[in-house]
Structure 1
Amino acid sequence: MREITRFDAQVTALAERRSLGEGDDAATELAPLASVLLRTESASSSQIEGVTAGARALALASIEAKSGPNAQLVTANVLAMQRAVALADDISVDSILAAHDALLAGHEYAAPGRFRTSQVWIGSNAVSPHTASFVPPHHTRVPASMDDLIAFVRRVDLPVLVQCAIAHAQFETIHPFNDGNGRVGRTLVHAMLRHADVTHRLTVPVSAGLLTDTSAYFEALTAYRSGDVEPIVRQFVNASFRAIRNGRHLVDDLERVYDGWGERLPSRRGSAARRLLPHLLNQPAVNVAYVEAATGAAMSAAQRAVEQLEDAKILTRVGSGQRNRVWLANEVIDALDAFAERVGRRG
């Protein structure tokens, strides 16, 4: 737990140190780092459920450029994570329903923002509960079970990471939704960490740590349902250490990229091109409309900024069309892909 808090404090201090004496430009440096860590957590959480999208596809989906359905689902998971963390001061049934609604809005089969109203069972080849690997509680018991879970989440007499692991496992056992249980259950962990003041500004990519060995994670959930709590707690402790190591590596990579940009870009301080640089860490795919919104520049200035960044080889144009043009910050894409590669996946 101390390592999670230390990581949060280190990245916060890094941004404050870099912004010291640099005016408004650098004041935005922490927000992109926090957002990119949240996005990597959302991508890893989705990948645990078999929903995979690369950094390039995610970046394009974030500006509603052409992307596949998986990228759109992961983008929705980012919104769900943001919703859960924003409501961390009051973790409740309503805040969990709000996160589910953000995750699966538009997917009516999942009844977004509503508890399931029928029996479900788990098992890839299970055609009935009799052959399932796990049968969650009857749907009529879900509301009371969730009220009991929230009462447990609000306790203050337990080690926080132990409490998070148990709450997550119990959420998965209740399985309150038709779909999205795993992803919403992992957003609950981050809401709890924020609520307990373990994290203040960052989302530590714990799911990336779990993703390293999904078989062990699922086996730990099965053990919990059999009454053995230790494996799921151990999984969360180990996943947190792995997440912090990988997260620090990612932050270091992005810091090197950002410093390199500053040296290569000839534009004056305060220009639209300079103001855009921090945003590229979090959103490495941009169009002119995004640049206008991010920097507050007029369209002509936004277009010049993109051209300057292209000349400095910070941005690269995607495609050759003249309409709906998009540019990528490939160095950020590479850093995010390297993060995913380090996570690996077993099981």
Structure 2
Amino acid sequence: MSEVNQLSVGWERCPWDGPDAPMSRRERAAAKGQYLASIPPAITDLAFDIPGEIAAAAEDALVEISRFDAELSAALPRADGELAPLAVVLLRTESASSSQIEGVTAGAKALAVAALNESAGQNARLVAANVDSMQKAIDLADDLSTDSILAAHRALMHDQAYARPGQLRDGQVWIGGGPTPHTATFVPPRPERVAELMDDLVSFCLRTDIPVLTQVSIAHAQFETIHPFNDGNGRIGRTLVHAMLRRAGVTRRLTVPVSAGLLTDTAAYFAALGSYRDGDPTAIITQFSRASFAAVGNGRRLVGDLGEIYSTWQQLLPSRQGSAARRLLSYLLSQPAVTVKHVQQHLDVSQPAAQRAVDQLVEAEILKQISTGKRDRAWIAREVITALDDFATRTGRRG
């Protein structure tokens, strides 16, 4: 069996020919000469001797994720024969929490409005793009490849040219430490190594002889160590987690918001990545196990809140079963901001019918108008916004 220390990154000295950025005299003195870049090991064929208690906790967490996924079949009353789309709610929440780790925040209201392609702040648009990239990865979970990872990155960073959307980085990046890599907290590998390392990572992800959450944790840590993109590495790395869970058959209908669990202790998460790079994968496996339990517990509260909201709405709305207004209720759980045009397209009804549905929900105090005038009016379901923001508050995230 391979030794754990085979996971340790190596190092190589590299010449620095980067731009002459403004810096202090101390920084300039430290930035002279060569810097050290990491050389992550190939992991495709490595074996992993994980202590029994760590492996058992990871297996328990995986069972809890799968149980939560199954619970959703009966989580809410059915509307028109279809399960209310909780997968989209949890996907959006995970995307917001995932982006928060990198300092990109957006409240539930701003994010819901951004999903309408209406006027929204930059942070909300970035989180909405993160939703698109995660959906892309989940859609491609059965065809996990470097190309599918690039497609997720393209969806995430599509309007940010500096990030080279859908392309591996062609320059050196580093984490922390100032304007050059000489004093960085961590320096990922030279760009010339990235393509081969990504192919190795994908081969590792396709293995079937490693317990799922252990494999997911190691793959995520290896991805963050490679840091294959100019920007968006954290968000795509967490997207990979959900693609792997789907591929393994652990989740079927939703994304369990694992990174919302990671948010409860980001310092421990980053320390675990450091331990992985030093050759010890146990800390990152432990962090993923804890994050999974935290995410499922929080997710159950969100599901309960949404169930109560849905039940109350059904009592408030006098419309008959099958009406446009009734059909809109379950959709509002996943998309709590709408326009008449949006309702018209989603329900496949005429503009007058869509307007009547909105009016009925306003009269029942389920929807509230948030924009004025007759053009580009939008409405929100305040109770759903509150439930999502409460979820975020429980993770420690601030929108």
Does the pair score TM above 0.5? yes
Match of 1:192 among 239, 244, 252: 244
Match of 1:26 in 2: 80
8 Å CA contact retained: 1:4, 1:198: yes
What count of residue pairs does the alignment treat as equivalent?
Answer: 337
Match of 2:198 among 131, 143, 146: 146
The aligned amino acid for 1:14 is: A
Provide Cα deviations, 1:101-132, integer angstroms capped at 9, x if missing partner: 00000111000000001111110x42211111
Match of 1:295 in 2: 347
The aligned amino acid for 1:300 is: P
Distance 1:52 1:128 in 2: 27
Distance 1:27 1:162 in 2: 38
Distance 1:325 1:258 in 2: 24
1:64 is displaced (CA, Å) by 1.6
Equivalent runs, 1:40-79 vs 2, <5 Å: 40-79=93-132
1:26 is displaced (CA, Å) by 3.3
Instruction: Confirm whether residue 261 of structure 1 aligns to residue 313 of structure 2.
Output: yes
8 Å CA contact retained: 2:80, 2:322: no
Match of 1:22 in 2: none
Instruction: Confirm whether residue 179 of structure 1 aligns to residue 231 of structure 2.
Output: yes
Equivalent runs, 1:1-347 vs 2, <5 Å: 1-14=62-75, 18-19=77-78, 25-30=79-84, 32-123=85-176, 125-344=177-396
1:14 is displaced (CA, Å) by 3.1
The answer for unaligned runs of 5 or more in structure 1 is 20-24
1:323 is displaced (CA, Å) by 1.3
Distance 1:345 1:37 in 2: 15
8 Å CA contact retained: 2:214, 2:285: yes
Provide Cα deviations, 1:311-332, integer angstroms capped at 9, x if missing partner: 0000001133221110010000
Q: CA RMSD in A?
A: 1.1
Distance 1:338 1:106 in 2: 31
Distance 1:33 1:303 in 2: 25
Q: Is 35-44 or 5-14 further displaced after alignment?
A: 5-14
1:222 is displaced (CA, Å) by 1.0
Distance 1:75 1:127 in 2: 30
Distance 2:166 2:97 in 1: 22
8 Å CA contact retained: 1:213, 1:345: no
Match of 2:37 in 1: none
Structure having the higher helix fraction is: 1
The aligned amino acid for 2:67 is: R
1:345 is displaced (CA, Å) by 5.2
Greater CA radius of gyration, 1 or 2? 2
8 Å CA contact retained: 1:77, 1:183: yes
Provide Cα deviations, 1:35-79, integer angstroms capped at 9, x if missing partner: 000000000000011000000000110002221000000000000
8 Å CA contact retained: 1:214, 1:345: no
8 Å CA contact retained: 2:100, 2:397: no
Distance 2:364 2:169 in 1: 53
Provide Cα deviations, 1:6-59, integer angstroms capped at 9, x if missing partner: 0000002335xx33xxxxx433334x2010000000000000110000000001
The aligned amino acid for 2:82 is: T
8 Å CA contact retained: 2:73, 2:83: no
The aligned amino acid for 1:263 is: Q
Identical-residue share of aligned pairs (%): 62
SS of 1:204's equivalent in the other structure is coil
Residues 12/238 of structure 1: CA separation in 2 closer, same or farther (3 Å cut): same
TM-score, scaled to structure 2: 0.83
SS of 2:369's equivalent in the other structure is strand
1:295 is displaced (CA, Å) by 1.2
